[in-house]
Amino acid sequence: MSAKKGLNLTLKIWRQKNNKSKGQFETYKLSDVSTDSSFLEMLDMLNEELVNNGSEPVAFDHDCREGICGMCSLYINGRPHGPDTGITTCQLHMRMFKDGETITIEPWRSAAFPIIKDLVVDRSAFDRIMAAGGFISVNTSGKTTDANNIPVPKEDADKAMDAAACIGCGACVATCKNGSAMLFVGAKVSQFALLPQGKVEAKRRVLNMVKTMDEEGFGNCSNTGACEVECPKGISLENIARMNREFMGAMVDKG
């Protein structure tokens, strides 16, 4: 029985030395890529060849490789996280591609996510938004109340859990023509706004997070819905609507 032949691919990859330099696409040929391998394993294979040939490997972000950390931020053939739906780049398999295909790989393109090197972007703007209010202040003195003692309606608990599924990958920003971060911020505001524990600091939270989002240079939402389509975690646009309601309420109370 003859051995199964892998894919022969042409890779067009964005290469950029650093934030100051001008980048460009470089073309690489890669042969015999197993359809069972993941997209990141395919890039590992390319990098091994580059290193063996004395060339600089392609820099790309990854950590968990299980769809949890949100690090693997790649634009593949014009779509964030590639041609499959509901998954991150690290969960993308090479069986989604055809033998002889050309695959174009770019970093997230957004003014608020400056390129660090090649396919790696700086998403620390998300961290600053979280630091501005994406938390609850809890008593850790030892006299804490068990969270299970606070009744939460099932529907609210489910919606809060759905919002908390956001992994902060930034695909919503990358795919939005306005570079808006409202799906991300909407999810992070909602996961607390829906729960009793989050209500105490709700007004301050939404005002500070939205202010930081604007200061970081993210665009506004014009309801195109591309973010919801490309989000690997199925975060719903209803979180943006909830954030807007929370924000309006907090503004009115502020006077």
User: Contact with ligand SF4 (CB under 6 A): which of 42, 46, 187, 210?
Assistant: 187
Site for ligand FES in 13-72 (CB under 6 A): 62-65, 67-72
The answer to whether 202 contacts ligand FES (rule: CB under 6 A) is no
DSSP 172: H
The answer to whether 219 contacts ligand SF4 (rule: CB under 6 A) is no
Site for ligand FES in 79-98 (CB under 6 A): 88-90
User: Contact with ligand SF4 (CB under 6 A): which of 129, 132, 166, 189?
Assistant: 166
Cα gap 219→112, rounded to integer Å: 9
Residue 82 interacts with, from ligand SF4, ligand FES, none (CB under 5-8 Å by kind): none
Q: Is-contact 46 59, C-beta < 8 A?
A: no
Residue 72 interacts with, from ligand FES, ligand SF4, none (CB under 5-8 Å by kind): ligand FES
Nearest distance from C-beta of residue 22 to ligand SF4, angstroms: 28
Tell me the three-class secondary structure of 202-246, residue by residue. Answer: HHHHHHHHHHHHHHCCCECCCCCCHHHHHCCCCCCCHHHHHHHHH
Q: Residue 90 or residue 221: which is nearer to ligand FES going by CB?
A: 90
Please compute, for residue 179, the number of CA atoms within 13 A of its CA located in the half-sphere on the CB side: 16
Cα gap 16→105, rounded to integer Å: 13
The answer to whether 170 contacts ligand SF4 (rule: CB under 6 A) is yes
Nearest distance from C-beta of residue 10 to ligand SF4, angstroms: 28
Task: Kindly list the distances between the CA atom of residue 180 and the CA atoms of 90, 163, 205, 219, in Å, as whole numbers in the listed order.
Answer: 24, 17, 19, 4
